[in-house]
């Protein structure tokens, strides 16, 4: 089985990615995970509720304990880990060997996944972690498909391989970076990265030359937006699902615990459609242009295939740059509203996310169904009075829609930007 693994930064995203087709989710607590700004869950009630909701929908839950711990934190860590088995989680994700040993000591029944932060690059390292009780390797992002295929052939059959297949990539090696700590005293290795690699630096067209290599200048240029010399491209592998499967990857991971619920919903839905199409007819898989169009309309940087198709035996200087230098983001669409209910099967009740004018052309995005194009010739407030626009944040409004009860709550209205 190929698993579609989705980010669940908070309860809203958890609910959405389950609704839109995830097989498993990964999420974090307020401590010991690398997305301190992701919303996250508390241990006492939110995590058990999240697990219950996921398991009711046959979705697995993996808890991130992947920050690097310090000695004074282990007392709290031990208390937390002792409580984890009763929450019902399916596995923990760790990168610190000390954390791994603590999990094995105080919650030996839990499956352990080794984080991409541990930079597993070869079969010998994979087998080392297997001997420590790890059941899954989350692969270093710097591996090619050939590297992964070679590893798969040399490791135990029951050791699973997971890889990121869509979303933001870090400019540092498997996420180990000190820029955020340097600028803001907030460590990316402690879950508090402020993403200074995405900032616009003023370069004034400088040229850096290393004394011993004058023939390899680094030219720092900027456009009207600034310079983004450190900002990496975004990963998108939807066209290459057969290659990922043949390399031996069994869990396809989507990045995005700090992204919007709309982003997570659209990306999960799109990869769900693609993966189902592949599983139905592996030999004739072709990426539907509509899937790429849907992904292009989310907020993203230039799409790239990461290191998957690079010859990683060559020096980095001979490989294609992964820097996204033009501007920070592309945005081809915006979410207008979310479906909250229906009235008498004739109206959709929507919650405003962005202002929309009467007459606008939008798309209705539904879980597990094709999109529908609509023109909003009529808008009404919650009292069914005609309105020309939806100017108030999170206001409820109505649009007429035949068979409204067939549109699930959690569906979206999206407007493609000109």
Q: Per residue in 100-136, pLDDT tens? A: 999 999 999 999 999 998 999 999 999 999 999 999 9
Q: What is the pLDDT of residue 33?
A: 77
Between 224 and 398, residue with greater pLDDT: 398
Read off the pLDDT band of 306 (50, 70, 90): confident
Long-range CB contact pairs, 39-45, < 8 A, 24+: 39/9, 39/10, 39/11, 39/13, 39/257, 40/9, 40/10, 41/10, 41/11, 43/80, 43/83, 43/87
Q: What is the pLDDT of residue 228?
A: 47
What's the N-to-C CA distance of the chain in angstroms? 40
Residues 258-270: b if buried by 16+ CB within 10 A, e if exposed: bbbbbbbbbbbbb
pLDDT in tens, 4-36: 999 999 999 999 999 999 999 999 998 887 666
Beta sheet of 372-375, edge-to-edge order: 372-375, 361-365, 412-416, 333-343, 347-352, 396-400, 380-381
pLDDT at 245 over 60: yes
CA distance 126 to 123: 5
* Residues above pLDDT 90, as percent of the chain: 68
Task: Give the pairing of strands 91-94 and 60-65.
Answer: parallel
All structural domains of the chain, each given as residue ranges with its CATH number in brackets, are 3-169+232-318 (3.20.20.70), 200-229 (no CATH), 333-416 (2.40.30.10)
Q: Which residues have a Cβ under 8 Å from the Cβ of 381 and sit 6 or more positions away?
A: 387, 395, 396, 397, 398
pLDDT in tens, 364-374: 999 989 999 99
Q: What is the pLDDT of residue 227?
A: 46
pTM: 0.86
pLDDT in tens, 321-359: 555 445 556 778 889 999 999 998 899 999 999 999 999
């Amino acid at each position: 089985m190929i698993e579609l693994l989705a980010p669940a930064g908070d309860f809203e995203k958890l609910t959405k990615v389950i609704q839109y087709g995830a097989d498993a989710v990964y999420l974090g607590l307020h401590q010991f995970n690398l997305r301190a700004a992701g919303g996250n869950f508390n241990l006492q009630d939110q995590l058990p509720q999240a697990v219950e909701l996921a398991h009711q929908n046959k979705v697995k839950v993996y808890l991130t304990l992947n920050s690097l711990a310090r000695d004074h934190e282990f007392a709290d860590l031990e208390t937390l880990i002792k409580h984890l088995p009763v929450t019902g989680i399916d596995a923990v994700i760790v990168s610190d060997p000390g954390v791994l040993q603590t999990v094995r000591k105080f919650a030996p029944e839990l499956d352990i996944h080794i984080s991409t932060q541990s930079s597993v690059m070869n079969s010998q390292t994979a087998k080392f972690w297997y001997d420590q009780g790890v059941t899954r390797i989350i692969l270093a992002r710097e591996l090619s498909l050939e590297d992964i295929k070679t590893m798969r052939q040399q490791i135990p059959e029951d050791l699973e391989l997971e890889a990121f297949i869509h979303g933001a990539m870090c400019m540092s090696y498997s996420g180990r970076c000190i820029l955020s700590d340097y600028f803001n005293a907030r460590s990316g290795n402690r879950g508090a990265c402020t993403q200074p690699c995405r900032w616009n630096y003023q370069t004034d067209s400088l040229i850096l030359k290393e004394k011993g290599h004058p023939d390899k200048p680094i030219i720092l240029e900027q456009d009207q937006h600034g310079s983004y010399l450190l900002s990496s491209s975004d990963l998108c592998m939807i066209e290459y699902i057969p290659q990922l499967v043949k390399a031996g990857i069994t869990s396809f991971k989507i990045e995005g615990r700090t992204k919007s619920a709309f982003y997570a919903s659209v990306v999960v839905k799109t990869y769900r459609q693609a993966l189902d199409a592949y599983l139905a007819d592996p030999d004739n898989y072709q990426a539907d242009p509509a899937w790429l169009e849907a992904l292009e309309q989310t907020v993203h940087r230039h799409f790239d295939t990461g290191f998957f198709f690079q010859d990683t035996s060559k020096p980095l200087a001979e490989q294609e740059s992964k820097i996204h230098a033009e501007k920070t983001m592309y945005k081809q669409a915006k979410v207008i509203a979310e479906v909250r209910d229906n009235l008498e099967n004739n109206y959709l009740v929507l919650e405003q996310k962005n202002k929309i004018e009467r007459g606008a052309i939008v798309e209705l995005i539904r879980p597990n169904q094709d999109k529908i194009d609509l023109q909003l010739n009529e808008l009404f407030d919650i009292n069914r009075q005609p309105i020309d626009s939806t100017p108030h944040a999170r206001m409820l409004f109505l649009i007429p829609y035949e068979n409204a009860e067939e549109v699930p709550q959690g569906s979206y209205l999206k407007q493609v930007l000109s």
